[in-house]
Amino acid sequence: MWSHQSSNRSARLSIIIGLAGIGVGVATGFLIGIKPLYPILALCAIPILFYFFTQFEQAVIGLLILRSSLDAFSALQLPAVFAIALDALTILYVTVRLLVGQPVKVDKFWWFFIGWLIIQSLWVILLPLGGLGLGTPFLSEAIREWVRLLTWALVYLLVMQLKDKISPQKFVSGLFLSLIIPITVALMQLFVPSLLPPMLSIGGGDGFGALAEGARIRGTFGMANTFVTFLLLFIGLTWWKLKWVQHRWRWLVLLGVLTFLFVSTKSLFSLMMLAVFVLVLIAPRLSLLNLIGGILLFGIVIALFASSEFGQQRLASIANTPLLNPDIDISRAILLSEGDHNSFNWRLSQWNLLLNRWQEYPFLGYGLGLSIQVAGNGFLPHNDYIRALIEGGIIGFVTYIGFFIAQAIRLIQLMYQIPRNNRQYELCFIMLAILVSLPIGMITENIWSHTTFFFYWWALFAVLGWNWSEKYE
């Protein structure tokens, strides 16, 4: 009986894959007359589709590893093509499992994520109805932003399908392979500066900081700031690994390389994020030794940051801002931003511009993903809280903050359910430390637009709720 049911499921699976292959073939024929690159990608989809269903575990991990290398090809829109393809594969895989009567694995937080996305879709729906500050001409940008957020939820869903098929420890270890190409490229940029490519991101740099972007390493990423959050995530994972491996020297070397590259990005906001991250890590086990170690680590980072002329200029620029100069108030800083090439003063000017425009539509804002259009100067707000206010108004801002609070609650709940001093607990704690540092960086940076960081963030978030018992060792 069981064999008969299994053969029926296999037959149905073969039929569905065959139909999907026919669909790809038809799409290829249609696209030949539109753009030569599209049919090539469509033809590549056929073997990818076959491999995805026959070698599911390896395919998923391979796709996750590949993502860290794609931002360098933003001009060719490869990250967008990759995201759409990943969404399609995930939806197809889940549909096939449902059709053949196999369970689709989810958890409570994923359902919360989907509910939150449904709420965000209201800003897309209201846009053409005239309920927001902007209207129908910007609908495609709003849809694109919503799909970007949906991709994170689908990454979560896709990784959940690996549950009970691969050990969580092996999955996390596999993600370290995504460091190889970005680190290699970053080291080449560091020692051969002529290899630094031009900026590929749009709206990612501030008006004056972008002028010096060519002096900062960014690996395979569009900007140094997006690279640095990716590095912080893997610094946390490497820290986690150090406690559970036998040959610690290899991971210490990796931690040193990641920290060195982290500093070499010359991102000021990342220093505060790192300080908060380290503080959260040592706080529960606070002792004189841990405190000295934390201060020493942060001191080394600051010293490395200030070891170059560019780093010294970045630190010195703070002295000409309201933060450290009592003779400069916010109004004067905004006026100075027009010619002093000070990144922080420029941010004050950008925030002032956007907050003035937010007051025109305070409750529902202008629309999802439309803060660049509202600013009118081609730049993001460089403050994710102001971005949430501009795009979603007060109501959207509340949902935005609530989303991060929900993540913290989820991590804390898992930590209460797990015995202390095991791998799962420690990884939850590392993720919580990173989560606490994010709001600090969001004050002066566009972290919400760091798609690659959240791609890996949600892949890891899905794994945290798995069964980490000994049978998976």
Q: Can you give the pLDDT at residue 24? A: 44
Separation CA 181–CA 381 (nearest Å): 30
Q: Which of 353, 417, 427 is nearest to 389 (CA)?
A: 353
Q: Can you give the pLDDT at residue 235? A: 94
Separation CA 459–CA 157 (nearest Å): 9
Separation CA 251–CA 158 (nearest Å): 28
Helices (H), 55-77: 56-67
Separation CA 51–CA 48 (nearest Å): 5
Q: Can you give the pLDDT at residue 44? A: 65
Q: Can you give the pLDDT at residue 152? A: 97
Q: Within a 10 A sphere around the Cβ of 289, how many other Cβ atoms?
A: 10
Separation CA 144–CA 323 (nearest Å): 37
Q: Can you give the pLDDT at residue 469? A: 76
Compute the CA torsion angle 428, 431, 435, 437 (nearest 10 deg).
120
pLDDT in tens, the chain (473 residues): 444 455 555 555 554 454 444 444 434 443 334 445 555 555 666 777 777 888 889 999 999 999 999 998 888 888 998 998 899 899 999 999 999 889 999 999 999 999 999 999 999 999 999 999 999 999 999 999 999 999 999 999 999 999 989 999 999 999 999 999 999 999 999 887 666 655 443 344 444 444 444 567 899 998 999 999 999 999 999 999 988 887 888 999 999 999 999 988 888 888 889 989 988 988 877 666 667 767 777 777 777 777 766 666 766 666 666 665 666 656 666 666 665 567 778 888 899 999 999 999 999 999 999 999 999 988 999 999 999 999 999 999 999 999 999 999 999 999 999 888 889 999 999 999 999 999 999 999 999 999 999 999 999 999 999 988 755 44
Indicate the SS3 state at residue 469: coil
Q: Which of 183, 182, 221 is nearest to 204 (CA)?
A: 221
Alpha-carbon distances of 402 from 4, 146, 201, rounded to whole Å: 49, 17, 28
Half-sphere exposure of 226 (CA within 13 A, CB side): 29
Separation CA 400–CA 391 (nearest Å): 11
Q: Within a 10 A sphere around the Cβ of 20, how many other Cβ atoms?
A: 19
CB-based burial label for 38 (10 Å; 0-12, 13-18, 19+): middle
DSSP 203: S
Separation CA 260–CA 470 (nearest Å): 35
pLDDT tens for 308-348 read 666 667 666 666 666 656 666 566 666 666 655 677 788 88
CB-based burial label for 374 (10 Å; 0-12, 13-18, 19+): buried
φ, ψ of residue 249 in degrees (nearest 5): -60, -35
Q: Can you give the pLDDT at residue 49? A: 78
| Residue 143 near residue 124 (C-beta atoms within 8 A) | yes
Q: Can you give the pLDDT at residue 305? A: 73
Q: Within a 10 A sphere around the Cβ of 107, how many other Cβ atoms?
A: 17
Separation CA 341–CA 351 (nearest Å): 16
Look up residue 85 and give its two tokens. Answer: 């393809």
DSSP of 273-292, one letter per residue?
HHHHHHHHHHGGG--HHHHH
Q: How far apart are the first and last CA of the chain?
A: 33
